[in-house]
């Protein structure tokens, strides 16, 4: 018998002449081969195949026993390939594809040969001595018992561009801002200040029931909005009215919502400051904390599925990171590789709870890495730093289809809301320091003025006009009729159930009986 060279993984050995019944022996066992048949080549092929497989299984058994003994594993961890595969395979794909199925069955490209089995076992032996081949990636071994420290000895640095005097720090890495954009950013920050002041006073006068300011966080509002595309979908918390202001929400629209009149898009059903606009891709604010984060992950994933050149941007406060939805939202976005920019406003206080009582980690930025999310810590009172960071994060999210986490370091100068008195739990000196020395509007104004783009005359004119327009908007909003009582029961069911009809009837009768208990202009 002659043995010709193997072609690929197929043995082409065949007898040179038909042979009678023969016994072929080797060191391991004897095989009875019949070469007098026309199928001799095929039979010999299977002989080699069975020989190789016997060797492989024998070595695999030894390998399994060794791993179980040395690693104390009841089952062997097998690498699984979770990459996307087509539902249907062609014949050529089946013959050339090799992978480990999710159930751990090994599929070879074709018949294995003894030398390949030797090499594979040797590779496994070498890898197992250094690494654990586990789903998600290889994990190295160490003989040193060492726990990961609870935190780094050095805190994550905070990215900034402008110093406290509004001057650009030498060698700063930032995205340049044009005169037109810079002036508009400052105008909107100043307008937001005026709006907060007047609406807050309106609540104190009893003209609206509730309000919540953004004092101290104007740069996060406006600079982040300036860095986004109008197509990006925003899911706010409740301290981001500046994003709507930047996108074109008018002072009249803000007033209509706060007064809950007929022009309010929410039909008067929401508390004041719970704004929303389909036109401006701004989800309506909801009071429950952190619910918008898993929603943002879902919206971002839908944008990805639709191949939109846009991302989702969602905001949350430091207190919201203690909610389960924060962790669910980040994990969902990371696993699904959804284009979402998570912006956390770390302003030091979750109402009256200080951050030292909120978490033991180095703020929020380190939480991103735990979920496999790229993260950065930014000076939230530096408009240029906020703009650069958000614009870069937005670019990563859209082009790389990945989530990004930004921790904005800032301070809530105002009370949590009109229902809060922050002087009961924090020092007045602390508030004054952040209001005067680290004011984000003043810092950005200095930079704009130093560039010759703004003057005292411009400042006086802007604030005077903003105040005048807002007072006119409030007066007009007060004159609008309130939503009729029936709107309280609409838009929930297509056909009202009987119990809801009974509640509506009972409320109407109560209003008619005691009209003095309801505001002027309120009607059934």
Q: Respond yes or no: is residue 277 known to be catalytic.
A: no
Local structure of residue 167 (DSSP, 8 states): P
Contact present, 343 and 406 (Cβ < 8 Å): yes
Catalytic site residue 504? Answer: no
**Which one of the listed residues 375, 392, 417, 422 is annotated catalytic?**
417
List, in order, residues 6 or more apart from 519 with CB less than 8 Å away: 482
How far is it, in rounded angstroms, from Cα 420 to Cα 405? 29
The set of residues, in sequence order, having a beta carbon less than 8 Å from that of 21 and lying 6+ positions away, is: 32, 34, 36
Whole-number Å distance between alpha carbons of 458 and 465: 11
Q: Are 195 and 189 in contact (CB under 8 A)?
A: no
Q: Does residue 415 have an active-site annotation?
A: no
Among 217, 224, 416, 422, the active-site one is 416
Distance CA 425, CA 276 (A): 32
Q: Which of 201, 430, 501, 509 is catalytic?
A: 201
Closest alpha carbon to 93 in 113, 112, 107, 114: 107
Q: Which residues of 418-455 are buried (b: 16+ CB within 10 A; e: fewer)?
A: beeebeeeeeeeebeebeeebbbbbbbbbbbbeeeebe
Element (H, E) at 471: helix 456-479
- Choosing from 287, 302, 352, 460, the catalytic residue is 287
Crossing angle between the packed helical segments 383-400 and 218-226, to the nearest 10 degrees: 40
416 carries an active-site annotation = yes
92-103 per-residue burial string, b: 16 or more CB within 10 A, e: under 16: eeeeeeeeeeee
Catalytic residue numbers read: 201, 287, 416-417
């Amino acid at each position: 018998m002659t043995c010709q060279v193997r072609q690929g993984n197929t043995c082409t050995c065949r007898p040179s002449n038909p042979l009678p019944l023969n016994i072929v022996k080797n060191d391991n066992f004897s095989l009875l081969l019949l070469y007098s048949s026309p199928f001799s080549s095929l039979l010999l092929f299977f002989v080699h195949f069975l020989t190789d497989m016997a060797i492989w299984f024998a070595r695999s058994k030894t390998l399994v026993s060794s791993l179980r003994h040395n690693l104390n594993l009841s089952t062997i961890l097998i690498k699984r390939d979770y990459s996307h595969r087509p539902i249907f395979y062609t014949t050529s794909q089946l013959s050339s594809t090799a992978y480990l199925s999710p159930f751990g069955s090994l599929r070879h490209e074709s018949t294995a040969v003894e030398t390949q089995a030797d090499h594979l076992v040797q590779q496994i032996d070498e890898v197992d001595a250094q690494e654990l081949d586990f789903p998600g990636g290889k994990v190295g071994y160490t003989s040193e018992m060492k726990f990961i420290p609870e935190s780094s000895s050095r805190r994550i640095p905070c990215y900034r561009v402008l110093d406290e005097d509004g001057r650009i720090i030498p060698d700063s890495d930032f995205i340049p801002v044009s005169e037109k954009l810079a002036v508009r950013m400052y105008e909107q920050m100043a307008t937001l200040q005026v709006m907060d002041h007047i609406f807050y006073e309106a609540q104190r006068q009893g003209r609206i029931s509730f309000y919540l300011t953004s004092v101290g966080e104007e740069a996060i509002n406006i600079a982040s909005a300036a860095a986004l595309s109008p197509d990006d979908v925003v899911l706010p918390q409740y301290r981001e009215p500046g994003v709507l202001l930047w996108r074109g929400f008018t002072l009249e629209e803000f007033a209509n919502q706060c007064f809950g009149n007929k022009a309010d898009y929410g039909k008067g059903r929401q508390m004041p400051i719970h704004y929303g606009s389909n036109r401006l891709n701004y989800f309506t604010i909801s009071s429950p904390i952190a619910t918008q984060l898993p929603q943002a992950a879902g919206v971002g994933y839908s944008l990805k599925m639709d191949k939109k050149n846009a991302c989702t941007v969602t905001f949350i406060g430091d207190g919201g990171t203690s909610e389960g939805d924060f962790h669910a939202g980040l994990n969902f976005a990371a696993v699904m590789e959804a284009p979402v920019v998570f912006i956390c406003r770390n302003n030091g206080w979750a109402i009256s709870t200080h951050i030292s009582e909120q978490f033991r980690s180095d703020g929020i930025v380190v939480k991103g890495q735990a979920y496999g999310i790229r993260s950065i810590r930014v000076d939230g009172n530096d408009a240029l730093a906020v703009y650069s960071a958000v614009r870069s994060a937005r670019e990563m999210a859209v082009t790389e289809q990945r989530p990004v986490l930004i921790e904005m370091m800032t301070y809530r100068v105002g009370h949590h809301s009109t229902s809060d008195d922050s002087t009961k739990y924090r020092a007045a000196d602390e508030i004054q320091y952040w209001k005067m020395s680290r004011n984000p509007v003043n810092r950005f104004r200095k930079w704009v003025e130093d560039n010759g783009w703004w003057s005292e005359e411009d400042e006086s004119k802007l604030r005077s006009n903003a105040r005048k327009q807002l007072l006119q908007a409030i007066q007009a909003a007060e004159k609008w009729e309130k939503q009729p009582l029936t709107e309280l029961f609409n838009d929930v069911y297509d056909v009202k159930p009987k119990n809801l009809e009974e509640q509506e009837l009972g409320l109407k009768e109560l209003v008619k009986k005691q009209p003095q208990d309801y505001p002027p202009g309120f009607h059934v």
